[in-house]
Homo-oligomer: A and B are copies of this chain.
Amino acid sequence: MTSPASLTDASTAFAELKRRLNLISDLGAAQGLMSWDQETQMPPDAARVRGLQMAGLAGLSHQLFTADETRALLEAAEREDAPGEVEADLLRVVRRDFDKATRLPTAFVEEMSRARNEAHHAWIKARTDNDFAHFAPYLQRVLDLTRQYAELSGYAEHPYDALLDDYEPGMKTAQVRRIFADLRERTLPLLRAIVAAGDATDYGVLSRPFPASAQRDFALKVAGEAFGLRPAFSRLDESAHPFQTNFSADDLRITTRFDEHYFPMSLFGTWHEAGHAMYEHGVSRELERTPLSRGASLGVHESQSRMFENLLGRSRAFWQRYFEEFAQAAPDVAAGQDAENLYRAVNRVQPSLIRVEADEVTYNFHIMLRFELELALLEGTLSVEELPSAWNARMQEYLGVTPPNDAEGVLQDIHWSSGLIGYFPTYSLGNLLSVQLLEAARREPQVAGGLERADYTPLREWLRQQVHQYGRRRTPDQLVQAATGAPLSADAYVKYLHEKYADIYQLG
């Protein structure tokens, strides 16, 4: 039994801990704003000092979080006998984050940060010059440090578990292997059948002129009307690499880029980021300014963006509903077209070299390839030197294409240069989860009815109830099990792909 005195102590400690977490959250918002500003607003000469300022705030934030006072407050707060549900969830997540943050020696964190920074600059040069050899020693260094990171962080079965866990808490390497093997086995035949079937569609429509400002207006109109992203709590800017960030649940910032001769980039890009934004918008205000006020994982986050972008934005019902408005916004594109033509055009399946341009059927092969190569590098069965040829061989095996150079092959993504190893799988896990969630939501008649009319209000309400509101209170596993009644698998996604593309490509 706990005496009243220690009860008071624990709850006082909790209140004090929460104040500290609020401040750390405020510092996080400031860093996020500095970063958003840097990508979208900042004058170029400001970059040098901005870098110092962001590093200063990051250091202060880390120092506040890993301080002895935080440890003492956390330990005292954990002595609470009967914490409230949110309180218990907060303590669990903070304990997890605190242990992760304090397991690494400061000198190691600094070395890793330096190595990543150098590798990032080497990668930019290597990609520009199409010169993998220039990047190789830097990647080797990142890889060595990543192995050390896994050892310092600890893991039960596989060092890759420690990496995965940063992006997809609780997910194990073995589980990803099983899911990906299943996915590969059941979708590679589909891809081959599509390729074999040939394609007489006229895709010229996708490159017809559509002025950037009109693209922007249409993308935002749909983001608001269909997906609920309102100007009252969000904004859209341009940036070189599209992203979503937010500084509170009512301060959502998304970015996109415009190509006046390829409108799908800005349209589907905006709706993708709108999916991320609406997740953060749906987090309970009760969790505000705490570490719980974020998405549960990158995979769960990606399930929301992919749902808006692909499952809804690339659905037949969507184009039936929005074709007329599209035609008003883009008369040059829509001339002589109808909803069905557009639906077909934006769902083209075509094996290609670049991940970020890949369609729904081929996308996951880009991810599997990266996952397999990361594992082989980490396990030491593949050397950095062998990486380009291993990449090219797998591209040929899965997609039947071979990069003409490394810039369009192994050097295309920023991730490895930034030390983001273990991150790629979350893209595919998000794809799979998007369909698994949508199928679960569809069991509600209101949601199913809405989907047929491209009215997504009931779906959004379901997502808010089942996923968004919890923030980080539930782990991805818990969320998926509770929302869909089953653990994550490839089943729903495989079924979705087969049905959608057998129809589009009239496969037998």
Q: In the complex, A232→B60 CA distance in Å? A: 29
Rounded to whole angstroms, the CA-CA distance of A59 and B26 in the bound complex is: 11
**A366 adjacent to chain B (CB < 8 Å):** no
Say if the beta carbon of A235 comes within 8 Å of chain B: yes
For A27, give its contact among B46, B48, B57, B233 (CB under 8 Å). Answer: B57
Are A43 and B231 within 8 A (Cβ)?
yes
Copy number in the complex reads: 2
Please indicate which of the listed interface residues A22, A46, A48, A231 has the most CB atoms of chain B within 10 Å of its own CB.
A46
Given contacts A26-B56, A30-B30, A53-B247, 5 further A-B contacts (CB under 8 A): A43-B250, A45-B250, A46-B250, A49-B250, A53-B248
Determine whether A23 belongs to the interface, using a CB cutoff of 8 Å to chain B: yes
Judge whether B248 and A44 touch: CB under 8 Å. no
CB proximity to B under 8 Å, residues A227-242? 231-235
Known: A49-B289, A50-B251, A289-B52. A30 touches B57 (CB 8 A): yes
Q: Is the CB of A43 within 8 A of B289?
A: no
A248-B50 CB under 8 A given contacts A233-B43, A235-B43: yes
20 cross-chain CB contacts under 8 A: A23-B56, A23-B60, A26-B53, A27-B30, A29-B34, A30-B33, A33-B33, A37-B37, A43-B250, A44-B233, A45-B232, A45-B250, A45-B251, A46-B247, A46-B250, A48-B250, A49-B249, A49-B251, A49-B289, A53-B289
Instruction: Please give, as numbers and ranges, the residues of chain B lying within 8 Å of A42 by CB-CB distance.
Output: 251
CB closest residue in chain B, given A293? B49
Min Cβ gap A421→B in Å is 30
Instruction: Tell me the A residues contacting B by CB distance below 8 Å.
Output: 22-23, 26-27, 29-31, 33-34, 37, 41-46, 48-50, 52-53, 56-57, 59-60, 231-235, 247-252, 288-289
A281 to chain B, nearest CB (A): 10
Are B26 and A52 neighbours in the complex by a CB distance under 8 Å?
yes
Report B-chain residues with C-beta under 8 Å of the C-beta of A288. 49
Nearest CB to that of A246 among chain B residues?
B46
Contacts of A49 in B (CB 8 A): 247-251, 288-289
What residues of B have a CB within 8 angstroms of the CB of A252 in the complex?
A: 43
User: Which 3 A-B residue pairs are closest in the complex by CB-CB distance?
Assistant: A46-B251, A26-B56, A49-B248
A22→B55 CA distance, assembly (Å):
11
> Chain B's nearest CB lies how many Å from the CB of A273?
15
Contact across chains for B233 and A22 when beta carbons are under 8 A apart: no
Bound-state CA distance A118–B289 (Å) is 25
Residues of B within 8 Å of A27, CB to CB, are 30, 57, 60
- A235 / chain B contacts, CB cutoff of 8 Å: 41, 43
Is there contact, CB below 8 Å, between A43 and B248? Answer: no
Smallest distance from the beta carbon of A283 to chain B beta carbons, Å?
12
Query: A56: which B residues are within 8 A, CB to CB?
Result: 22-23, 26, 289
Chain B residues closer than 8 Å to A30, beta-carbon distance? 27, 30-31, 33-34, 53, 57
| A502 to B234 Cα, complex, angstroms | 55
In the complex, what distance in Å separates the CA atom of A37 from the CA atom of B41? Answer: 10
Query: Nearest-CB distance from A410 to chain B (Å)?
Result: 35
